[in-house]
Amino acid sequence: MNIEKKQIDDLNIQLTLDIAAEDYAPIKKKKLNERRRTAEFKGFRKGMVPASLIERVYGEQCLGDAVNDIISEQLGKYMEESGLNFIGEPLSSEDQPEIEWKDGNDFTFKFDLAVSPKIDFELSSADKVVNYTIKSTAVAKEEMKRNMLMQYGEMQEVDAPTPESYLYVDLENDDKTVENGYISMRDVTEAMKPALMGVKAGDKLELNINEVLEREGDRATLLKVKKEDLAGINPVFNATVVNIKNFEAAKPTPEIFDRIFGEGKVKTEDEFEKEVANRLSENYRQESDYRLGKDIKDYLVKKADLKLPENFLKRWLYSINKEKYTMEDIEKEFDAFLADYKWQLVSDYLMKKFDLKIDRNDLSEAAHGYVAYQYAMYGMANVPSNFIDEAAQKMLTDRQQVERLSEQVAEQKVIAAVKDIISFDKKSISVEKFRELK
């Protein structure tokens, strides 16, 4: 048995394993004996099958298993004793010699291994990152007020349509009758909008729905049929406008305030204005914090100046995902993977450097925060705590969710530690300019 190391460059190693017949022969023999003890062949008692028959049936498989056992042992031993941090798993070299699987042959195997780059850098107050403060405006406050009230709005009848209106119509032709179907003015073709903008309740008109609505899905919704049924229906209908409705924002009343903020928390319009301003400031703070975290991550990755064995990484990604992705898919997504992988390496380095730990409480807090955020995304800001507790506990029983939460907590801990060390260049910026930042 012989192992030869070839250093391709700082990050890539090729190992050549020469395995002689005498290396694998005893292992193969042991495996054949194990087969013989358990094999059941018609005409032979268990354990009494002739060795020659066992060899003929299982010889090649036992040969392959014996050689693979040696390969796994020797590669594992090398990787453990080298003191290096390796990326992924060893890959068969692209110049691997052809193997003739024949008992008594010597075998040569070549493997490519990639070494994780060494990371070593210091941080101080001389390291500086821009920290943006987003300025609130009256226009933004009014927009937030409207959005909050729209969440609890309802359909109201109006006299004339607007570009946001819904026309409720009765339709009839020789093929079909539809009662109280609706047409969203937002979905109407540009050619037909002028004609429909002038209608009022009670008007009768002829409509070719193929001309009114471009998308099949919209036409199927109007006629209350499946898309595949549209082809058999005459698109020209006699239409009667039943009514016209707009979705109107709720009025700012104490009842609506209770639904938005919780009972008794906001009672007057002045308090509503203050709460809107606070929420807008909090939203902007969260956006700014997210941006700061991203910029800190980018700064740290740039400072680490990592060089990675990209060709090896692409081959390794393909080898573990070839049932799902082509090499073309890997190439397409590789830049995004590389950015994430570099950050993961830097994050792991700083977790160790700052002696940061993740415990069960950290994960529980992260799970609760995630669940509450998901509810808030759907406008549910006052969810009972037992609902959040139950969902969070369920997350913590899912291994993949726990891994995702661990990465999230690690990122938060690293960024918090770095914030205590580096300096910030504080800048005030409009929300429009902020969202244009790359």
> What are the boundaries of each domain within the chain?
2-115, 128-141+266-436, 154-248
Extract the tokens encoding 127. 């390291």
Extract the tokens encoding 90. 């060893």
- Mean pLDDT for the stretch of residues 352-378: 90
Domain 154-248 is found in CATH 1.10.10? no
Give the tens place of pLDDT for each residue, 54-110. Answer: 899 999 999 999 999 999 999 999 999 999 999 999 999 999 999 999 999 999 999
Q: What is the Cα–Cα distance from 366 to 371, expressed in whole angstroms?
A: 9
Q: Residue 48 has what pLDDT?
A: 84
Q: Residue 357 has what pLDDT?
A: 96
Q: Residue 43 has what pLDDT?
A: 81
CATH number, span 128-141+266-436: 1.10.3120
Residue 42 has pLDDT above 90, yes or no: no
Torsion of CA 196, 201, 207, 210, to 10 degrees: 60
Q: CATH: 3.30.70.141, 3.30.70.1050, 3.40.30.10, 1.10.357.10. Which one for 2-115?
A: 3.30.70.1050
**Given pLDDT bands bounded at 50, 70 and 90, which one contains residue 322?**
confident
Residue 381 has pLDDT above 80, yes or no: no
Q: Residue 285 has what pLDDT?
A: 95
Residue 39 has pLDDT above 70, yes or no: yes
**Given pLDDT bands bounded at 50, 70 and 90, which one contains residue 379?**
low
Give the tens place of pLDDT for each residue, 113-143. Answer: 999 999 999 999 999 999 999 999 999 999 9
